[in-house]
Structure 1
Amino acid sequence: MQSEDIKALIEASIPDSQVQVGVQGDHINLVVISSAFTGLSTVKKQQLVYAALAGLFADGRVHAVDYMKTFTPEEWQQQQQQ
């Protein structure tokens, strides 16, 4: 699975998202930024991302997400200033 494919899949599933993807074999690392995350807990944010990837897990193209960080645009901006 190519990082561009995963990026496109998540961006199509989560409105107004920006996605950074790292792929190592069948494991992926993700940073997802979206205004759709506003007001959601970390768990709810991650559930949205996992829902976007459900098909990849089901058919075995992705085995695991090793690292996932989810941010609203405001949280991302604060993160970058630190």
Structure 2
Amino acid sequence: MAEEATITEASLKAALSERLKTVHVGVTDMSGGCGQSFSSLIVSPEFQGQNSLKRHRTVNAALKEEIKSIHAWSAKCQTPAEWERDKAAAPPTAGTENGHVTGTTA
């Protein structure tokens, strides 16, 4: 039996960047590093004119092979204009850095 390739934040980001001509991709491993649950923000001009369902189908088709190895996948899909609008409107979130909680102790 062939060993499956490990899915990582970096491998998903690279695949999305290449396959969807993105201007921004953020991928976060929500599974604590085991590569089974990911959340993402994908910004691509290819989403222009597409509704939310079509955008998600586009992403899922681009990651068809990778998604087979993932337990949970969440994607927020935006056009560059939507992303810029949301960045300008959103205040910084206290206690987070690059989508990760900071300032906590075990």
TM-score bin (small chain): 0.7 to 0.9
**Stretches of 4+ moved more than 6 A in 1?**
none
- Aligned position for 1:76: 83
Q: Distance in 2 between matches of 1:33 and 1:16?
A: 6
Matched length: 79
Q: Which is richer in helix?
A: 1
With 17-26 and 67-76 compared, the bigger mean Cα shift is at: 17-26
TM-score normalised by the chain length of structure 2? 0.69
Structure of larger gyration radius: 2
Output the aligned Cα RMSD. Answer: 1.2
Identity %: 24
Residue deviations 1:24-81 (CA, integer Å, cap 9, x gap): 23010000001111110011111111112110123x2x1221x321110000011112
Instruction: List runs of 5+ in structure 1 lacking aligned partners.
Output: none
Kindly indicate whether structure 1 or structure 2 has the higher relative contact order, using CA contacts under 8 Å at least 6 residues apart.
Answer: 1
Q: Which is richer in strand?
A: 1
Instruction: List runs of 5+ in structure 2 lacking aligned partners.
Output: 1-6, 90-106
